Amino acid sequence: MTNAELVSHFYQILINLEVSEVIVCAGARNAPLVVGLEGRSFKVKSFFEERSAGFYALGRIKALGKPVAIMTTSGTAVAELLPAVVEGYYQGLPLIVVSADRPKNYRGSGAPQAIDQAGIFNKYVHTCYDWDVQQTDLKTEFDGTKPLHFNLCFDEPLIDGDFTQRTKQFVEVNKIESFKQQAFDAEYGQEAKQFKNPLVILSQLSSSEKEQVKKSLQKYQIFHYAESLSGLLGDGDLVHLQLNNCEPLLGNFLEKDLFSSVIRVGGVPTVRLWRDLEKKYAHIPVLSISELPFSGLARKSLQTGFENLDTLLNFAEYRKIDFTDLNKKIQAKKVTALGEFRNSEQNFVFQLSDLIKYQPVYIGNSLPIREWDQFSQGSFPDTYGNRGANGIDGQISTYLGWSNQFGISWAIIGDLTAMYDLASLGLNREDSPDSRKCLVIINNKGGQIFKKVFDHEKFLNPHEVQFQGWAQMFGWNYLQIADVADLQLVQQLIAKKEKKNFVIEIQTDQQQSNAVWKFMEETCKTVTY
C-alpha cells in the first residue's frame, strides 16, 4: 500500500465516523494527509498552534454534536494536544486525533521529530490505531464517548501517488456500546432509598437532559441549587425554587438536617459544597445522575442514569421547608452590598448579566464561573464551559469553536485565563462573518481566587497587563471599562448590531470585591431561618 492509498482508506474511516469538519495543523510529515484533503467534502480549518486548535475542536464538537478531527505533524506537535484530549475525556467528547509519524523503525532513535507517539495519550483515548503502509487490517471500533487517536506513519517520498483517488475497499467501522450506568434493579433500588430529603445540585446538562430535569423539578416543586452550566439557572419557571442566594449556607443546611442527602444531576459541580462532601460531610449520602462514568468524588457514592431521574425525585420524601423568605432576605442584602460596592467584580457580573440576558454565554473557570452562579441575573439557556478537568487553558479557543452557531455570543473569563490562550484569537479569522463574538475579560490583575485560601503573592501571580494591544494584533475591536456606569457602552454595542468582534476588558476594584465576599459571609452567618 502507498501513502496515498493509506490516506484514501483513512478518510473513508473518518466519513464512516460521521466526521464533517477537520482542523489541520500542517507540517512536513502530515503532507500526505493535507494533500489528501483536496477535493473531499470535509470542512477544513487551518491553524498553526496545536494546543489552541485542539480546544477549538472541542467547541466544534459541542456545537455539532458529533466528532471533529484534528491533524498534526510528528514530534511535540502531538503532545500539544494532551490538554484538549484530557478535557475531552472528562467531558465525554469524541475528539479524533490524527497524528502523522515517521516510520516505526525511527522510534527510540532520537532522530528529529521522532518521538514515541503511539500510546502517548494513554487512558485518555478509546484506543490508538498505529498504522503504516504495511497495515492490512483497518477495522476500527469506537464508542463515541471519548477521544480516539490515529497515528499514521509515512515514509518518504511523502507524496507518492494519486491523492485524489477514492478507496474501493470496504472500510469497516464498528460503533461499540458505550458506558452504561448501574441498572436500577431491586438491590440498587434498596440502596437508593437512603436518598431522603435530598439537596439537588444541577450542573452541566445537555439540551435533552435539561428539558427532562426541568420537567421533574416543576412536577415535584423541588428546591435546588442550579449552576449556570445546567442552562436552568434563572429559568422563569424554576427561579423561585433555586437556592443560589444561599450558596454559603448549603453546608449549614446539611448540618441542621434541613437536607439529609445530596443528589447531583449532570456534570461534576463547581460549588464549594461538592468538595466539602469528600471529608467534612463524608457521612452524607451522595447519588449522581449522569451519563458520564465519573462520580466526581473519591469516596463512596452511587451513580445512575437519567432514565431513573423522575423515579428518584418522586420517592425522595422531601420535608415541607419553604426557603422562599430566606432567599428573598439574602437577595435584598446582596443587592444592597452590590449597590454600595459598585465597582466590585460581583456587581459587574450582576449588571452585565442583566444587559445580555438570554444570549449565549461561555463561562470561564476560576472566579468567573463562581461569580456568575451567585450574582448573575436573568436566564441563559445556552451556557457552556469546559468543566471536565477544571483547567483554565484553552478557554477562549473552545468558546470560539462553540459560538460559531450563534449570531451574537459572550464569553466571561479571567485575566490569567486570557493570558493562557493568547494564540486563540487567530482561530476566528475564517469563521462566519455573521457570528459576533464578545470576549469579556474580568481583569483583577492576578489569580484572586487563591486569595481566600493562601493569600500569598506567589499564588496570586500579580501583573499589570492590559489587553488592548492583543486585541489589535488580531484585528478585534477593544473596549475598556473601569466603572460600572460605563457598561452603557456595552449596551450601545449590542444595539448597533454591527458585525464586529470585541474584547471588553473590565478592570475591577479588588478592595470592593473582597468587601462583597466578606459582607455576604457575614450576612449568611447572621440571617435567621
Q: What is the CATH number of the domain that holds 81?
A: 3.40.50.970
All three cell numbers of 354: 442583566
Torsions phi, psi of 195, nearest 5? -90, 65
CA angle, 294 as apex, 149 and 371 as ends, to 5°?
105
Same domain, 402 and 477: yes
What pLDDT is recorded for position 462? 77
Same domain, 266 and 392: no
Domain span holding position 344: 326-519
Helices (H), 17-105: 31-36, 50-64, 76-79, 82-91
524 lies in some domain: no
What pLDDT is recorded for position 168? 66
Nearest CA-CA partner of 301 in 271, 272, 281: 281
> Sign of the C-alpha dihedral, residues 210, 211, 213, 218?
positive
Is the distance from CB of 244 to CB of 328 less than 8 angstroms? no
What pLDDT is recorded for position 494? 81
527 lies in some domain: no
Res 459 pLDDT > 70: no
Same domain, 317 and 333: no
Q: How many domains does the chain have?
A: 3
419 lies in some domain: yes
What pLDDT is recorded for position 10? 95
Same domain, 332 and 238: no
**Chain centre distance of CA 274:** 18
Same domain, 288 and 275: yes
**Chain centre distance of CA 482:** 28
Q: In degrees to the nearest 10, what's the CA dihedral of 36, 42, 43, 48?
A: -30
Same domain, 503 and 355: yes
Binning pLDDT at 50, 70 and 90, where does residue 51 land?
A: very high
Higher pLDDT, 489 or 189: 489
180 lies in some domain: no
Same domain, 269 and 380: no
Same domain, 20 and 125: yes
Report the C-alpha gap between 508 and 6 in whole angstroms: 55
Res 11 pLDDT > 60: yes
Q: Minimum mean pLDDT among 101-110, 162-171, 333-342, 414-423: which range?
A: 162-171
Res 186 pLDDT > 60: no
What's the pLDDT tens digit per position in 344-392? 999 999 999 999 989 999 999 888 999 999 999 999 999 999 999 989 9
The strand pairing partners of 153, in sequence order, are 101
The strand pairing partners of 443, in sequence order, are 507
What pLDDT is recorded for position 320? 82
Mean pLDDT of 383-404: 95
120 lies in some domain: yes
Q: Tell me which of 299, 322, 345 is where a domain ends.
A: 322
387 lies in some domain: yes
List the end-to-end C-alpha distance of the chain, in Å, as a whole number. Answer: 75
Same domain, 116 and 222: no
416 lies in some domain: yes
Mean pLDDT of 38-56: 96
Q: Tell me which of 175, 200, 215 is where a domain ends.
A: 175
pTM greater than the 0.85 cutoff: yes
Same domain, 372 and 340: yes
User: Residue with C-alpha cell 494546543?
Assistant: 51
99 lies in some domain: yes
Same domain, 143 and 232: no
Same domain, 139 and 253: no
